[in-house]
Protein backbone atom coordinates (compact mmCIF):
# COMPACT_ATOMS: atom_id res chain seq x y z
CA UNK A 1 0.00 0.00 0.00
CA UNK A 2 1.10 3.53 -0.67
CA UNK A 3 0.38 4.58 2.92
CA UNK A 4 2.52 1.83 4.39
CA UNK A 5 5.41 2.57 2.03
CA UNK A 6 5.48 6.28 2.68
CA UNK A 7 5.09 6.33 6.49
CA UNK A 8 8.77 6.15 7.28
CA UNK A 9 10.60 7.09 10.48
CA UNK A 10 10.95 10.60 9.04
CA UNK A 11 7.17 10.97 9.06
CA UNK A 12 6.93 9.89 12.68
CA UNK A 13 9.95 12.03 13.54
CA UNK A 14 8.24 15.08 12.02
CA UNK A 15 5.16 14.31 14.14
CA UNK A 16 7.34 13.98 17.26
CA UNK A 17 8.80 17.41 16.55
CA UNK A 18 5.30 18.90 16.24
CA UNK A 19 4.23 17.18 19.48
CA UNK A 20 7.24 18.57 21.37
CA UNK A 21 6.49 22.05 20.07
CA UNK A 22 2.84 21.86 21.13
CA UNK A 23 3.83 20.48 24.53
CA UNK A 24 6.22 23.39 24.94
CA UNK A 25 3.44 25.91 24.33
CA UNK A 26 1.30 24.43 27.09
CA UNK A 27 4.27 24.08 29.40
CA UNK A 28 4.77 27.82 29.13
CA UNK A 29 1.13 28.38 30.09
CA UNK A 30 1.23 25.89 32.97
CA UNK A 31 4.42 27.25 34.49
CA UNK A 32 2.78 30.68 34.64
CA UNK A 33 0.47 29.33 37.34
CA UNK A 34 3.42 28.70 39.69
CA UNK A 35 4.95 32.08 38.85
CA UNK A 36 1.92 34.10 39.94
CA UNK A 37 2.96 34.67 43.55
CA UNK A 38 6.64 35.63 42.98
CA UNK A 39 5.73 37.92 40.04
CA UNK A 40 2.94 39.50 42.07
CA UNK A 41 5.30 40.19 44.96
CA UNK A 42 8.12 41.60 42.80
CA UNK A 43 5.90 44.02 40.87
CA UNK A 44 3.37 44.60 43.67
CA UNK A 45 0.55 43.58 41.32
CA UNK A 46 -3.06 42.82 42.21
CA UNK A 47 -4.88 39.51 41.65
CA UNK A 48 -6.83 41.13 38.84
CA UNK A 49 -3.61 42.17 37.13
CA UNK A 50 -2.23 38.64 37.50
CA UNK A 51 -5.43 37.28 36.00
CA UNK A 52 -4.92 39.61 33.05
CA UNK A 53 -1.36 38.51 32.39
CA UNK A 54 -1.97 34.80 32.91
CA UNK A 55 -5.17 34.51 30.89
CA UNK A 56 -7.12 37.28 29.22
CA UNK A 57 -4.25 39.23 27.63
CA UNK A 58 -2.90 36.01 26.15
CA UNK A 59 -6.27 34.65 25.00
CA UNK A 60 -7.41 37.83 23.24
CA UNK A 61 -4.24 38.14 21.15
CA UNK A 62 -4.16 34.40 20.45
CA UNK A 63 -7.76 34.39 19.24
CA UNK A 64 -7.47 37.65 17.26
CA UNK A 65 -4.43 36.46 15.29
CA UNK A 66 -5.54 32.84 14.93
CA UNK A 67 -7.45 33.27 11.67
CA UNK A 68 -4.78 35.36 9.87
CA UNK A 69 -2.17 32.82 11.00
CA UNK A 70 -4.25 29.99 9.61
CA UNK A 71 -4.76 31.74 6.29
CA UNK A 72 -1.03 32.39 6.08
CA UNK A 73 -0.39 28.69 6.64
CA UNK A 74 -2.71 27.80 3.77
CA UNK A 75 -0.82 30.03 1.33
CA UNK A 76 2.84 29.57 2.30
CA UNK A 77 5.32 26.99 3.58
CA UNK A 78 4.06 25.76 6.94
CA UNK A 79 7.50 24.58 8.09
CA UNK A 80 8.98 28.02 7.46
CA UNK A 81 6.06 29.71 9.20
CA UNK A 82 6.65 27.48 12.23
CA UNK A 83 10.38 28.24 12.12
CA UNK A 84 9.71 31.99 12.15
CA UNK A 85 7.02 31.56 14.80
CA UNK A 86 9.33 29.57 17.07
CA UNK A 87 12.10 32.13 16.69
CA UNK A 88 9.76 34.97 17.62
CA UNK A 89 8.31 32.84 20.43
CA UNK A 90 11.80 32.23 21.85
CA UNK A 91 12.67 35.94 21.79
CA UNK A 92 9.35 36.90 23.41
CA UNK A 93 9.77 34.27 26.14
CA UNK A 94 13.29 35.45 26.92
CA UNK A 95 11.97 39.03 27.06
CA UNK A 96 9.53 37.85 29.76
CA UNK A 97 12.53 36.81 31.83
CA UNK A 98 14.24 40.15 31.27
CA UNK A 99 11.13 42.22 32.11
CA UNK A 100 11.92 45.17 34.36
CA UNK A 101 8.30 46.29 34.78
CA UNK A 102 4.88 44.72 34.89
CA UNK A 103 3.87 46.53 31.69
CA UNK A 104 6.88 45.08 29.88
CA UNK A 105 5.90 41.61 31.10
CA UNK A 106 2.34 42.05 29.78
CA UNK A 107 3.62 43.17 26.37
CA UNK A 108 6.06 40.26 26.23
CA UNK A 109 3.29 37.77 27.11
CA UNK A 110 1.09 39.23 24.36
CA UNK A 111 4.01 38.81 21.95
CA UNK A 112 4.27 35.16 23.04
CA UNK A 113 0.57 34.73 22.19
CA UNK A 114 1.12 36.29 18.76
CA UNK A 115 4.06 33.96 18.11
CA UNK A 116 2.07 30.87 19.15
CA UNK A 117 -0.94 31.69 16.95
CA UNK A 118 0.25 29.73 13.84
CA UNK A 119 1.21 26.63 15.84
CA UNK A 120 -2.07 24.69 15.91
CA UNK A 121 -3.37 25.42 12.37
CA UNK A 122 0.00 24.91 10.69
CA UNK A 123 0.76 21.74 12.66
CA UNK A 124 -2.59 20.04 12.08
CA UNK A 125 -2.46 21.00 8.40
CA UNK A 126 0.94 19.30 8.21
CA UNK A 127 -0.32 16.20 10.02
CA UNK A 128 -3.12 15.92 7.43
CA UNK A 129 -0.44 15.70 4.73
CA UNK A 130 1.86 13.41 6.72
CA UNK A 131 -0.76 10.74 7.46
CA UNK A 132 -3.59 9.25 5.35
CA UNK A 133 -7.14 9.59 6.72
CA UNK A 134 -7.26 6.05 8.15
CA UNK A 135 -4.16 6.71 10.28
CA UNK A 136 -4.70 10.40 10.96
CA UNK A 137 -6.84 10.27 14.13
CA UNK A 138 -4.12 8.65 16.25
CA UNK A 139 -1.53 11.10 14.93
CA UNK A 140 -3.80 14.03 15.81
CA UNK A 141 -4.48 12.49 19.24
CA UNK A 142 -0.73 12.25 19.88
CA UNK A 143 -0.44 15.95 19.00
CA UNK A 144 -3.42 17.17 21.00
CA UNK A 145 -2.53 14.89 23.93
CA UNK A 146 0.80 16.65 24.43
CA UNK A 147 -0.60 19.11 27.03
CA UNK A 148 -1.14 16.17 29.42
CA UNK A 149 2.62 15.76 29.80
CA UNK A 150 3.00 19.53 29.96
CA UNK A 151 0.68 19.74 32.98
CA UNK A 152 2.80 17.27 34.95
CA UNK A 153 6.16 18.77 33.95
CA UNK A 154 5.03 22.38 34.04
CA UNK A 155 3.57 22.18 37.54
CA UNK A 156 6.05 19.84 39.23
CA UNK A 157 9.41 20.71 37.61
CA UNK A 158 8.30 24.31 37.08
CA UNK A 159 7.51 24.76 40.77
CA UNK A 160 10.97 23.45 41.72
CA UNK A 161 12.76 25.75 39.26
CA UNK A 162 10.78 28.83 40.28
CA UNK A 163 11.25 28.14 43.98
CA UNK A 164 14.99 27.44 43.80
CA UNK A 165 16.13 29.67 40.94
CA UNK A 166 13.43 32.33 40.56
CA UNK A 167 10.64 32.94 38.07
CA UNK A 168 12.94 34.51 35.49
CA UNK A 169 14.93 31.29 35.14
CA UNK A 170 11.69 29.49 34.24
CA UNK A 171 11.26 31.74 31.20
CA UNK A 172 14.92 31.34 30.22
CA UNK A 173 14.75 27.53 30.33
CA UNK A 174 11.62 27.53 28.15
CA UNK A 175 12.87 30.13 25.67
CA UNK A 176 16.36 28.75 24.94
CA UNK A 177 15.27 25.35 23.47
CA UNK A 178 12.80 27.14 21.21
CA UNK A 179 15.69 28.62 19.26
CA UNK A 180 16.95 25.09 18.53
CA UNK A 181 13.46 24.02 17.48
CA UNK A 182 13.26 27.00 15.12
CA UNK A 183 16.47 25.91 13.40
CA UNK A 184 15.19 22.32 13.09
CA UNK A 185 12.02 23.47 11.36
CA UNK A 186 13.96 25.77 9.04
CA UNK A 187 16.77 23.42 8.02
CA UNK A 188 16.02 19.92 9.34
CA UNK A 189 12.61 18.95 7.91
CA UNK A 190 11.11 18.50 4.47
CA UNK A 191 7.55 19.75 4.21
CA UNK A 192 5.16 17.17 2.71
CA UNK A 193 3.32 17.97 -0.50
CA UNK A 194 0.06 19.77 0.25
CA UNK A 195 -2.88 17.43 -0.29
CA UNK A 196 -0.62 14.35 -0.29
CA UNK A 197 -3.38 11.94 0.71
CA UNK A 198 -6.38 13.71 -0.82
CA UNK A 199 -8.44 11.83 -3.43
CA UNK A 200 -8.61 15.05 -5.48
CA UNK A 201 -5.39 17.03 -5.38
CA UNK A 202 -6.34 20.48 -6.63
CA UNK A 203 -4.01 23.20 -7.81
CA UNK A 204 -3.68 26.30 -5.67
CA UNK A 205 -6.74 28.51 -6.14
CA UNK A 206 -6.54 32.19 -6.92
CA UNK A 207 -5.58 34.29 -3.89
CA UNK A 208 -8.55 35.57 -1.89
CA UNK A 209 -8.94 37.86 1.08
CA UNK A 210 -9.06 36.62 4.66
CA UNK A 211 -12.71 37.69 4.87
CA UNK A 212 -13.60 35.76 1.71
CA UNK A 213 -11.75 32.66 2.92
CA UNK A 214 -13.52 32.76 6.29
CA UNK A 215 -16.90 33.38 4.62
CA UNK A 216 -16.39 30.34 2.41
CA UNK A 217 -15.86 28.16 5.47
CA UNK A 218 -18.77 29.69 7.38
CA UNK A 219 -21.08 28.99 4.43
CA UNK A 220 -19.85 25.38 4.37
CA UNK A 221 -22.61 24.07 6.66
CA UNK A 222 -21.01 20.74 7.73
CA UNK A 223 -17.70 22.48 8.43
CA UNK A 224 -19.35 25.24 10.49
CA UNK A 225 -21.49 22.77 12.44
CA UNK A 226 -18.44 20.66 13.32
CA UNK A 227 -16.51 23.76 14.42
CA UNK A 228 -19.45 24.90 16.59
CA UNK A 229 -19.73 21.42 18.12
CA UNK A 230 -16.06 21.56 19.09
CA UNK A 231 -16.37 25.09 20.49
CA UNK A 232 -19.39 24.30 22.65
CA UNK A 233 -17.57 21.22 23.94
CA UNK A 234 -14.66 23.35 25.13
CA UNK A 235 -17.10 25.67 26.93
CA UNK A 236 -17.88 23.01 29.51
CA UNK A 237 -14.43 21.42 29.43
CA UNK A 238 -12.49 24.60 30.24
CA UNK A 239 -15.03 25.52 32.91
CA UNK A 240 -14.46 22.20 34.63
CA UNK A 241 -10.67 22.40 34.41
CA UNK A 242 -10.68 25.90 35.87
CA UNK A 243 -13.10 25.20 38.73
CA UNK A 244 -12.48 21.54 39.61
CA UNK A 245 -9.85 22.27 42.27
CA UNK A 246 -12.15 24.80 43.94
CA UNK A 247 -15.00 22.27 43.79
CA UNK A 248 -12.91 19.65 45.59
CA UNK A 249 -11.98 22.17 48.28
CA UNK A 250 -15.51 23.44 48.85
CA UNK A 251 -17.60 20.30 48.43
CA UNK A 252 -15.16 17.56 49.51
CA UNK A 253 -13.23 19.57 52.10
CA UNK A 254 -9.76 18.89 50.69
CA UNK A 255 -6.75 21.13 51.16
CA UNK A 256 -5.53 23.23 48.24
CA UNK A 257 -2.47 21.02 47.77
CA UNK A 258 -4.41 17.74 47.84
CA UNK A 259 -7.17 19.09 45.59
CA UNK A 260 -4.62 20.30 43.04
CA UNK A 261 -2.80 16.96 42.99
CA UNK A 262 -5.99 14.95 42.55
CA UNK A 263 -7.45 17.27 39.92
CA UNK A 264 -4.23 17.15 37.90
CA UNK A 265 -3.58 13.42 38.11
CA UNK A 266 -7.14 12.11 37.84
CA UNK A 267 -8.12 14.21 34.85
CA UNK A 268 -4.68 14.59 33.26
CA UNK A 269 -3.68 10.91 33.21
CA UNK A 270 -7.17 9.71 32.31
CA UNK A 271 -7.45 12.25 29.48
CA UNK A 272 -4.00 11.36 28.18
CA UNK A 273 -4.81 7.65 28.00
CA UNK A 274 -8.28 8.36 26.60
CA UNK A 275 -6.87 10.61 23.89
CA UNK A 276 -4.44 7.97 22.59
CA UNK A 277 -6.96 5.13 22.88
CA UNK A 278 -9.71 7.05 21.08
CA UNK A 279 -7.32 8.02 18.29
CA UNK A 280 -6.26 4.40 17.82
CA UNK A 281 -9.85 3.16 17.99
CA UNK A 282 -11.07 5.76 15.49
CA UNK A 283 -8.40 4.81 12.96
CA UNK A 284 -9.19 1.14 13.48
CA UNK A 285 -12.93 1.52 12.91
CA UNK A 286 -13.05 4.36 10.36
CA UNK A 287 -10.82 2.61 7.85
CA UNK A 288 -13.88 0.60 6.74
CA UNK A 289 -16.66 2.97 7.83
CA UNK A 290 -16.03 6.70 8.15
CA UNK A 291 -19.24 7.12 10.13
CA UNK A 292 -17.11 6.28 13.17
CA UNK A 293 -15.50 9.72 12.84
CA UNK A 294 -18.78 11.00 14.31
CA UNK A 295 -19.86 7.97 16.33
CA UNK A 296 -16.69 7.95 18.48
CA UNK A 297 -17.23 11.58 19.62
CA UNK A 298 -20.91 10.83 20.30
CA UNK A 299 -19.98 7.84 22.47
CA UNK A 300 -17.35 9.94 24.23
CA UNK A 301 -19.74 12.82 24.97
CA UNK A 302 -22.43 10.46 26.28
CA UNK A 303 -20.11 8.59 28.64
CA UNK A 304 -18.26 11.75 29.72
CA UNK A 305 -21.50 13.57 30.56
CA UNK A 306 -22.82 10.62 32.57
CA UNK A 307 -19.54 10.34 34.47
CA UNK A 308 -19.41 14.09 35.07
CA UNK A 309 -22.91 14.22 36.56
CA UNK A 310 -22.14 11.26 38.82
CA UNK A 311 -18.91 12.97 39.91
CA UNK A 312 -20.50 16.34 40.62
CA UNK A 313 -23.51 14.87 42.45
CA UNK A 314 -21.60 12.26 44.48
CA UNK A 315 -21.85 12.75 48.27
CA UNK A 316 -18.77 13.41 50.38
CA UNK A 317 -16.90 10.24 51.27
CA UNK A 318 -13.38 8.84 51.10
CA UNK A 319 -12.31 5.91 48.96
CA UNK A 320 -9.00 5.78 50.79
CA UNK A 321 -5.63 7.49 51.01
CA UNK A 322 -2.69 7.30 48.58
CA UNK A 323 0.72 8.59 49.74
CA UNK A 324 -1.00 10.67 52.38
CA UNK A 325 -3.46 12.21 49.91
CA UNK A 326 -7.13 11.56 50.76
CA UNK A 327 -9.03 10.32 47.71
CA UNK A 328 -12.80 10.95 47.61
CA UNK A 329 -14.93 8.13 46.18
CA UNK A 330 -16.17 10.63 43.57
CA UNK A 331 -12.72 10.66 41.93
CA UNK A 332 -13.56 7.33 40.28
CA UNK A 333 -16.21 9.13 38.23
CA UNK A 334 -13.88 12.08 37.64
CA UNK A 335 -11.30 9.78 36.04
CA UNK A 336 -14.05 7.95 34.11
CA UNK A 337 -15.33 11.23 32.69
CA UNK A 338 -11.80 12.45 31.94
CA UNK A 339 -11.07 9.31 29.92
CA UNK A 340 -14.09 9.83 27.64
CA UNK A 341 -14.15 13.64 27.51
CA UNK A 342 -11.35 13.76 24.89
CA UNK A 343 -12.83 11.12 22.56
CA UNK A 344 -14.01 13.86 20.21
CA UNK A 345 -10.61 15.46 19.55
CA UNK A 346 -8.80 13.15 17.14
CA UNK A 347 -11.92 12.10 15.25
CA UNK A 348 -13.34 15.62 14.90
CA UNK A 349 -10.10 17.21 13.72
CA UNK A 350 -9.62 14.30 11.30
CA UNK A 351 -13.11 14.84 9.89
CA UNK A 352 -12.55 18.60 9.67
CA UNK A 353 -9.44 18.06 7.51
CA UNK A 354 -11.61 15.99 5.14
CA UNK A 355 -14.49 18.47 4.92
CA UNK A 356 -12.30 21.18 3.35
CA UNK A 357 -9.70 21.30 0.60
CA UNK A 358 -5.98 21.14 1.25
CA UNK A 359 -5.87 24.91 0.65
CA UNK A 360 -8.42 25.59 3.38
CA UNK A 361 -7.27 23.28 6.19
CA UNK A 362 -5.14 25.61 8.27
CA UNK A 363 -7.77 28.37 8.01
CA UNK A 364 -10.53 25.95 9.07
CA UNK A 365 -8.47 24.72 12.03
CA UNK A 366 -7.65 28.31 12.97
CA UNK A 367 -11.35 29.20 12.83
CA UNK A 368 -12.11 26.29 15.15
CA UNK A 369 -9.30 27.40 17.50
CA UNK A 370 -10.65 30.96 17.59
CA UNK A 371 -14.18 29.74 18.41
CA UNK A 372 -12.88 27.36 21.07
CA UNK A 373 -10.58 29.95 22.66
CA UNK A 374 -13.32 32.55 22.96
CA UNK A 375 -16.01 30.07 24.00
CA UNK A 376 -13.85 27.94 26.29
CA UNK A 377 -11.19 30.15 27.85
CA UNK A 378 -13.12 33.39 27.45
CA UNK A 379 -16.70 32.54 28.43
CA UNK A 380 -16.74 29.13 30.14
CA UNK A 381 -15.02 29.88 33.47
CA UNK A 382 -16.60 33.34 33.64
CA UNK A 383 -20.18 32.11 33.20
CA UNK A 384 -19.58 29.24 35.63
CA UNK A 385 -18.39 31.71 38.27
CA UNK A 386 -21.38 33.98 37.64
CA UNK A 387 -23.76 31.02 37.95
CA UNK A 388 -22.13 30.00 41.22
CA UNK A 389 -22.57 33.53 42.60
CA UNK A 390 -26.22 33.66 41.52
CA UNK A 391 -26.95 30.30 43.18
CA UNK A 392 -25.45 31.32 46.52
CA UNK A 393 -28.81 32.40 48.07
CA UNK A 394 -30.32 29.02 47.17
CA UNK A 395 -27.47 26.51 47.42
CA UNK A 396 -25.10 28.24 49.84
CA UNK A 397 -21.70 26.58 49.99
CA UNK A 398 -22.72 24.06 47.32
CA UNK A 399 -23.45 26.73 44.69
CA UNK A 400 -20.36 25.81 42.65
CA UNK A 401 -21.43 22.17 42.53
CA UNK A 402 -24.76 23.02 40.91
CA UNK A 403 -23.24 25.66 38.64
CA UNK A 404 -20.91 22.99 37.25
CA UNK A 405 -23.86 20.62 36.82
CA UNK A 406 -25.71 23.23 34.75
CA UNK A 407 -22.63 24.00 32.63
CA UNK A 408 -21.87 20.30 32.07
CA UNK A 409 -25.32 19.86 30.52
CA UNK A 410 -24.23 22.08 27.63
CA UNK A 411 -22.56 18.90 26.29
CA UNK A 412 -26.01 18.08 24.90
CA UNK A 413 -25.52 20.85 22.31
CA UNK A 414 -22.47 19.35 20.54
CA UNK A 415 -24.13 15.94 20.76
CA UNK A 416 -27.16 17.30 18.89
CA UNK A 417 -24.94 18.90 16.24
CA UNK A 418 -22.89 15.73 15.78
CA UNK A 419 -26.07 13.68 15.44
CA UNK A 420 -27.24 16.06 12.69
CA UNK A 421 -23.92 15.59 10.89
CA UNK A 422 -24.30 11.84 11.24
CA UNK A 423 -27.74 11.98 9.64
CA UNK A 424 -26.31 14.08 6.79
CA UNK A 425 -23.55 11.48 6.24
CA UNK A 426 -21.03 14.30 5.81
CA UNK A 427 -18.11 11.88 5.50
CA UNK A 428 -19.37 11.06 2.00
CA UNK A 429 -19.13 14.65 0.76
CA UNK A 430 -16.31 15.84 -1.47
CA UNK A 431 -14.59 18.97 -0.14
CA UNK A 432 -13.96 20.57 -3.53
CA UNK A 433 -17.66 20.27 -4.35
CA UNK A 434 -18.60 21.80 -1.03
CA UNK A 435 -16.37 24.75 -1.77
CA UNK A 436 -18.13 25.35 -5.09
CA UNK A 437 -21.55 25.02 -3.50
CA UNK A 438 -20.56 27.35 -0.67
CA UNK A 439 -19.62 30.02 -3.17
CA UNK A 440 -22.81 29.65 -5.14
CA UNK A 441 -25.37 32.42 -4.65
CA UNK A 442 -28.58 31.71 -2.77
Domain ranges of the chain: 8-191, 210-442
Q: What is the pLDDT of residue 4?
A: 45
Mean pLDDT: which of 24-38, 85-99, 234-248, 418-432 is highest?
A: 85-99
Q: What is the CATH number of domain 8-191?
A: 1.20.1250.20
CA atoms within 13 A on the CB side of 237: 27
Residue 220 predicted with pLDDT over 60 = yes
Q: What is the pLDDT of residue 200?
A: 61
Q: Identify the residue with better confidence: 386 or 83.
A: 83
Q: Identify the residue with better confidence: 430 or 44.
A: 44
User: 259, 248 in Cβ contact below 8 A?
Assistant: yes
Best CA proximity match to 332, nearest among 317, 343, 352: 317
Q: Per-residue pLDDT averaged across 157-186, rounded?
A: 85
Residue 409 predicted with pLDDT over 90 = yes
Q: Per-residue pLDDT averaged across 393-405, rounded?
A: 91
Residue 434 predicted with pLDDT over 60 = no
Report how far apart, in Å, the C-alpha atoms of 348 and of each of 124, 248, 291, 300, 380 are.
12, 31, 11, 12, 21
Residue 242 predicted with pLDDT over 90 = no
CA atoms within 13 A on the CB side of 54: 19
Q: Per-residue pLDDT averaged across 136-164, rounded?
A: 77
Q: Per-residue pLDDT averaged across 67-84, rounded?
A: 91
Q: What is the CATH number of domain 210-442?
A: 1.20.1250.20
Distance CA 309, CA 406 (A): 10
Binning pLDDT at 50, 70 and 90, where does residue 203 land?
Answer: low
Best CA proximity match to 363, nearest among 248, 161, 215, 213: 213
User: 352, 368 in Cβ contact below 8 A?
Assistant: yes
Q: Per-residue pLDDT averaged across 350-363, rounded?
A: 86
Binning pLDDT at 50, 70 and 90, where does residue 437 land?
Answer: very low
pLDDT over 90, % of the chain: 36
Residue 225 predicted with pLDDT over 90 = yes
Convert the pLDDT of each residue in 285-324 to its tens digit. Answer: 998 899 999 999 999 999 999 999 999 999 888 888 887 8
User: 369, 227 in Cβ contact below 8 A?
Assistant: no
Residue 85 predicted with pLDDT over 60 = yes
pLDDT over 70, % of the chain: 88
- Burial zone of 43 (CB within 10 Å; 0-12 exposed, 13-18 middle, 19+ buried): middle
Q: Identify the residue with better confidence: 339 or 60.
A: 339
Convert the pLDDT of each residue in 118-140 to its tens digit. Answer: 999 999 999 999 999 888 999 99
Q: Identify the residue with better confidence: 403 or 210.
A: 403
Residue 146 predicted with pLDDT over 70 = yes
**What is the average pLDDT value for the chain, to the nearest integer?**
84
pTM score, whole prediction: 0.78
Q: What is the pLDDT of residue 442?
A: 42
User: For the residues of 322-358, what is the DSSP string, one character each?
Assistant: ETTEEEETTHHHHHHHHHHHTHHHHHHHHHHHHHS-T
Q: Per-residue pLDDT averaged across 112-118, rounded?
A: 90
Neighbours of 387 (CB within 10 A): 18
Identical topology for domains 8-191 and 210-442: yes
Residue 206 predicted with pLDDT over 70 = no
Q: Per-residue pLDDT averaged across 44-52, rounded?
A: 71
Best CA proximity match to 222, nearest among 423, 372, 11: 423
User: 337, 311 in Cβ contact below 8 A?
Assistant: yes
Amino acid sequence: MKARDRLSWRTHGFLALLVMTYAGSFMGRQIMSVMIEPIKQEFNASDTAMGLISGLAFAIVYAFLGLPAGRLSDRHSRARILAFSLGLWAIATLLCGFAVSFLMLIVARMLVAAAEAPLTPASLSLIADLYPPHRRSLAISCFTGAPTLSIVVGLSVGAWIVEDYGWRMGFFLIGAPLLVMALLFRFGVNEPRRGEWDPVNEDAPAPESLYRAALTLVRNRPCLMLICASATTTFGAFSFVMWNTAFLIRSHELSLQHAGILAGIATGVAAGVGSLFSGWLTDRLSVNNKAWLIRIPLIGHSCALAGMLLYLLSPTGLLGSVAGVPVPTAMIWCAFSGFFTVFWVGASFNLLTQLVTQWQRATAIALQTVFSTLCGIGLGPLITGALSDSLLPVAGGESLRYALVIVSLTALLPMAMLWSLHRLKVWQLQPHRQQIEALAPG
